[in-house]
Structure 1
Amino acid sequence: MSMDQNLTSKESWLKSQWLRHLATVLAVSCVVMLTNLGGPRLWDRDEPRNANCAFEMLGRGDWIVPTFNAELRTHKPVLQYWSIMISYSLLGVSEFSARLPSAVYAILTAVLTWLMGRRLFGATAGLWAGCAIGSSLLFVMAGRACTPDATLIFWSTLSLAIYVLRTFPVATEQPATGRHSLFPDLLTAVLMYGAMGFAMLAKGPIGLIIPTACIGMFLLIETLPPLDVSHLVWWKRFPAQVWAVFHPVHFLRTCWYMNPVMALCVSLAIAMPWYVAVGIATDGEFLTGFFYDHNLSRATNAMEGHRGNVLFYPAAILVGMFPWSVIAIPLVMEVSARLRHRDGQSRSLVFAIAWVGVFIGLFTIAKTKLPSYITPCYPGAALLVGYVVDRWVRNDLLIAKFWPAIAAGVLVVVGIVLGAAVPAIAEEHLPGEEWLGILGLLPILTAAGGTVWAYQRQRLVAATWFAGGSALIVMSIFALGAQRADEHQRSHEILAAIFAQHEHPELASYRTLEPSWVFYAGMPVREYSPAAKSKKSEAETAARVIEHLEKSAGAYLITNRAGMQDLQGRLPADVVVLAERPLFLKNDRLFAIGRRRQETEAPAEVTAHVERIMAKQPPETFRY
């Protein structure tokens, strides 16, 4: 065979490998993200808020001002709402179309992770990284939820992927040297900062700050001149290295190297037009609420009780990357050993570590803490997972050989705990669903099968078995477990009881408001809630509730047990309790209050409303 034929054959094989790996990543992520995506109702509280905000904006034909329950919503910028509005326009209003944009963003993020893994660590490491991110617990949750998390993850990952693909050479085992290639050319930088501009439309300033901080941390480390700390006592060496990395001169030089003027100009050119437009349309109210209440206040105060210590985010990432997090200890040990050896992939490891470390570090400093805040670093963690799994498959780990077996043992323990805990929890909150404890068998079977294949030295088969088992575990939790839990939600029956009495009720709530009521009712729900915990405030609010019920025959109210106690003996004579149901997963009851229909036979419109609500379907249009 001639040399030309050999080259053609190799190119053909590489192309087919590229397509096979892409198809595998797409298959895993699509199956996990899309299976029964629209099955469960929207989960209170964030999902219906986001879904209905887009519903209201689409109904008004307004692409600028986000509202929920006919009131300005300042929690998040507009990109997620735009995505949902497009989905509604194409597919109609439903749970599936509300969640589909998040699923698409998550699938594309898995592809980007695969591409980065190929460039940083090699083709097979990229494949494992793409499969890992596509079957990690909290990343999948973000991709299957109607929230802006997957949107932010995609655009921030895209900016970092552009940096990697245009800056890093193809993965090699030879040590890399030089600084010239550590920042991309002008056009690439524009594309990179442009992606960050879209991330700013997804969640605000962090869309620019965090990705640039990740790249900046990588550059601070990699552009640092050689530092000799051998003459220092051991406990002074690490502080000396940290000081060298963050030395003001080195720090400012690195910041300037990243062209901050271009970063601001390009990202603001993307994001600023909408922020200006919404500021003008709301007389600055959105800007004040978003930047002050939902950015500055969350950074400086623990809002809504969401607080934690320095271990909060390390623990969160262990849960969020499950099942792949069972290799966390051997991963840390292997990566540490590789960094000490400084081969051609050390720079790639530093980049992935900087990505994860910046997110954990910055959000640990912030006062308000939620597990979802660090999900944009999961692709970076998946890159490290892909690297270590690839090394194990090639039998090229530096650490002791028994660590993978210990990881399998951890997965077995998790399966046993799930098998015992799920029936106990279901017995109290989801009676009749105790059988879901069988899901605990999936981690056990995944660990057992992988161990058997590994014992037979079929490492590739073992890793493939683990990847498939991980996808099945996570998919079963969300596609099956969430669906069964949803069957125990009863609040829609409260709405159905009201719509059975009146085709166009004037809805209000007292002391409780679940956002899903607004979405499935397809109309605003006026909220009555005491402004302060005082008897005077509570009495004044209760009086306004009674006034609401007295003013119209079509006035209806949803309240809880505390609200019923406040209103006891004060309701108009013809106002009765229409329905009473348990509040899902809470030790409380919901009550529908209003007047019964006088006619014996309900009009067709009323019957249609009731059937729609009982089928857990939103209306076609939102009625103000």
Structure 2
Amino acid sequence: MTTARAPLHLAVLVLLSGLFFFWGLGSTGLTDRDEGRNAEAGREMLERGDWISPTFNYEPRYAKPVLVYWLMSASYHFFGVNERAARLPSAVFGLALIMMTYWFLTRLRDPVTGLIGALMLLLNLQIISLSRMALTDSVLIFLTTLALYAFWLGFQAADRHPAWLWLLYIAMALGTLTKGPVGFLVPLLTIALYLTATKQWRPFWREGKPLAGTVVFALLALPWYVTMWRLHGSDYAAAAQANTVGRFLNPMEGHGFSFLFYVPVLLIGFFPWSGWLPFAWYQAYRSWRNNGVAGQRDSGIRELEWFTALWILGTFVFFTLSSTRLPHYIGPLFPAAAILTALYWSRCVTVPNTTGAYAAIHTVMLLGFLLAGAFATLPWAYENYLSAKLVKEFPLATQFTLGIGPYAAATMLLIGMALVGYFGLSEQRRGGAFWAAGASLACVILIVTQLIMPGINRIFIAPPQELAYAAGLNLNPSEPFIAYGSTRPSLAFYARRHVLFIPANETERLRESLAHEGRTMILLPETMQRSLPTEAATFQPILKRYGYLLLSSQPMVKIPEGAPPPPSAVPPVLGH
């Protein structure tokens, strides 16, 4: 393995990861619902000192296993309780994923292919988004990828060493502690497909340590689950089943969507490299059909292409068959997509007349032009359609404008796709198409984060969070804080206390909650103030932010002297 270029490559990857994963990590408030729930569960774990049983809003949270909450709690301990610390584990594991992929491809191929594959994995909408959010997915993707890299290095690579196989089982166990059964199902499904396609089940049973590995997996993954079952009994078992088998068999929280849902998710989420991906996958399939079916083996790059193609296929089909579908579910296939596409791209650049090369360039350009059109029409669509749909939940939605950001993004995409065509449609200049595509995506991401997201945060995300923070500073633990007409989990994170979430149609429950001596505070959209019951008639508005009100049963609110400053994404609460 040539290593002369490695320091430069690593510097580029660290710099870009810092720019896209870490820079401004705490500049926006937590999104709802998953970010708010996860961040608050980690905060409560640190506050309570209970490292076994996660809670949200001081009630048991059985939806996800414990590993991510451990990571968030550790981050809070060292860096304080804020959005940046909540998201830091995702960014760190995103960086680790990029570095691991560079090392893996460099070891198996060469440093240039390693750099190309790592950049393809870094520069796409899905991985950047997941590495900047307080979700479980960045950690899960790293661990499922580590498991499959370890399988390849321990069982299939030319310089394989069986010690790598232990890491396969360790990574699956940690993945299971991150997001449940999917932590081992994604790797096992990929491995099963590969062993079946290459007729290697017998060698794997002999060399793959399946029995000893299962023991290692069980020793690492099962103790927490057994402890939770012993502590919480049938309540935990029922909730765990509902969030695993139940989520697969039945749509949950309205997230059913179409059977073809993941086709546009993959095309947009892996853009711009998604234009090359279908052709790369087909070439891998054709290679297997011409060689693998006949039993002709290739322990080198071609067989790695078969492996990554099956990794993509198995993960894509598995989550398509699931009744609950969300964009980030297919995240574990993105490392395979990056490797397969990088290997195909290497041939497009070095081998004349590579099958599909011209069609792939045209596909990239078509996707880019369509995405540019979507950005260009977004302000019109928002003003004439979307804003009216959002105004019930976001009071000032109709007064918000997207500004020049979407037009700037559309312009960069048009320029970028023109350059992709200029370079990519000429075999002599084709190498430049990769850099043009990557640069256009990078510019779009910067435009979104620097021009579009600040306005979205100011109007749609931060206002109720700012008021929740103020309420938390001024209420004793026994005094109620009511979020009326809003069920945003992030409010509990900013209030640093229990929040009584009451939907707008449950006025009787609100009346009962107001029968409390001492201070009571209500956070609600300004438009709902008139619908409050008579018991709240004496409540005075004390703070207002962009269409949201904080009411108090006692008119004066005093911010305690010496109170800690608001979280980084929360500006002063008075006014507006």
TM-score w.r.t. the length of structure 1 is 0.79
Q: Is the 8 A contact 1:99 1:146 kept in 2?
A: yes
Which whole-Å deviations, capped at 9, do the CAs of 1:270-296 have from their partners, x for residues lacking one? 112222233333345334312x11011
1:220 aligns with 2:196: yes
Q: What's the CA shift for 1:529?
A: 4.8
Q: Is the 8 A contact 1:114 1:129 kept in 2?
A: yes
1:268 aligns with 2:221: no
Correspondence list, 1:415-454, <5 A? 415-425=371-381, 427=383, 428=387, 429=397, 431-437=400-406, 438-454=408-424
1:485 is matched with 456
Q: What's the CA shift for 1:403?
A: 1.9
Residues 1:566 and 1:121: Cα distance change in structure 2 (over 3 Å):
same
SS of 2:157's equivalent in the other structure is coil
Residues 1:498 and 1:348: Cα distance change in structure 2 (over 3 Å):
closer
Q: What's the CA shift for 1:561?
A: 8.0
1:282 aligns with 2:246: no
Q: Is the 8 A contact 1:57 1:67 kept in 2?
A: yes
Correspondence list, 1:108-507, <5 A? 108-169=96-157, 185=162, 187-223=163-199, 258-283=208-233, 285-290=235-240, 292-339=241-288, 342=291, 344-425=300-381, 427=383, 428=387, 429=397, 431-437=400-406, 438-454=408-424, 455=426, 457-478=428-449, 480-489=451-460, 490-495=463-468, 498=471, 505-507=479-481
Q: What's the CA shift for 1:590?
A: 4.9
Q: What's the CA shift for 1:351?
A: 0.2
Q: What's the CA shift for 1:118?
A: 3.1
Q: Is the 8 A contact 1:117 1:123 kept in 2?
A: yes
**C-alpha distance in 1 between matches for 2:118 and 2:178:** 23
Which whole-Å deviations, capped at 9, do the CAs of 1:546-593 have from their partners, x for residues lacking one? 23223223112234589757644x2255224556666xxxxxx75533
SS of 1:558's equivalent in the other structure is strand
Deviates more, 1:20-29 or 1:298-307: 20-29
Q: What's the CA shift for 1:259?
A: 4.6
**C-alpha distance in 2 between matches for 1:617 and 1:80:** 28
Aligned AA (2:354): L
1:244 is matched with none
**C-alpha distance in 1 between matches for 2:496 and 2:304:** 50
Tell me which of 31, 36, 56 is aligned to 1:43.
31
Q: Is the 8 A contact 1:334 1:397 kept in 2?
A: no
SS of 2:21's equivalent in the other structure is helix
Aligned AA (1:158): L
Residues 1:364 and 1:329: Cα distance change in structure 2 (over 3 Å):
closer
Tell me which of 538, 547, 550 is aligned to 1:592.
550
Aligned AA (1:145): M
1:521 is matched with 495
Residues 1:63 and 1:542: Cα distance change in structure 2 (over 3 Å):
same
Residues 1:400 and 1:83: Cα distance change in structure 2 (over 3 Å):
closer
Tell me which of 3, 12, 15 is aligned to 1:24.
12
Correspondence list, 1:63-74, <5 A? 63-74=51-62
Q: What's the CA shift for 1:400?
A: 4.9
Q: Is the 8 A contact 2:521 2:552 kept in 1?
A: yes
Q: What's the CA shift for 1:605?
A: 0.5
Which whole-Å deviations, capped at 9, do the CAs of 1:84-109 have from their partners, x for residues lacking one? 11111111111111111101111111
Aligned AA (2:499): V
Q: What's the CA shift for 1:595?
A: 1.9
Residues 1:298 and 1:562: Cα distance change in structure 2 (over 3 Å):
farther
Which whole-Å deviations, capped at 9, do the CAs of 1:126-185 have from their partners, x for residues lacking one? 2211101111111211111000000111111111111222334359xxxxxxxxx7xx62
Aligned AA (2:246): S
Q: What's the CA shift for 1:352?
A: 0.2
Correspondence list, 1:86-101, <5 A? 86-101=74-89
Residues 1:560 and 1:432: Cα distance change in structure 2 (over 3 Å):
closer
Aligned AA (1:462): A
Q: What's the CA shift for 1:443?
A: 1.8
2:512 is matched with 547
Aligned AA (1:469): S
Q: Is the 8 A contact 1:149 1:375 kept in 2?
A: yes
Percent identity between the two aligned chains: 26
**C-alpha distance in 1 between matches for 2:19 and 2:537:** 55
SS of 2:501's equivalent in the other structure is strand
**C-alpha distance in 2 between matches for 1:519 and 1:74:** 18
Aligned AA (1:551): H
**Structure 2, gaps ≥5 residues long:** 292-297, 388-396
What RMSD, in angstroms, separates the aligned Cα atoms of the two structures?
Answer: 3.2
Deviates more, 1:456-465 or 1:141-150: 456-465
Q: Is the 8 A contact 1:102 1:150 kept in 2?
A: yes
Tell me which of 60, 65, 75 is aligned to 2:48.
60
**C-alpha distance in 1 between matches for 2:150 and 2:186:** 15
Q: Is the 8 A contact 2:109 2:301 kept in 1?
A: yes
**C-alpha distance in 1 between matches for 2:248 and 2:206:** 26
Residues 1:511 and 1:293: Cα distance change in structure 2 (over 3 Å):
farther
2:560 is matched with 605
1:574 aligns with 2:538: yes
Residues 1:420 and 1:162: Cα distance change in structure 2 (over 3 Å):
same
**C-alpha distance in 2 between matches for 1:617 and 1:79:** 32
Aligned AA (1:210): V
Q: Is the 8 A contact 1:34 1:103 kept in 2?
A: yes
**C-alpha distance in 1 between matches for 2:356 and 2:329:** 34
SS of 1:527's equivalent in the other structure is strand
Q: What's the CA shift for 1:310?
A: 3.4
Q: What's the CA shift for 1:488?
A: 1.7
**C-alpha distance in 2 between matches for 1:59 and 1:386:** 45
Q: Is the 8 A contact 2:176 2:182 kept in 1?
A: yes
Residues 1:23 and 1:347: Cα distance change in structure 2 (over 3 Å):
same
Q: What's the CA shift for 1:356?
A: 0.8
Larger radius of gyration: 1
Residues 1:100 and 1:499: Cα distance change in structure 2 (over 3 Å):
closer
**C-alpha distance in 2 between matches for 1:265 and 1:593:** 57
Aligned AA (2:270): M
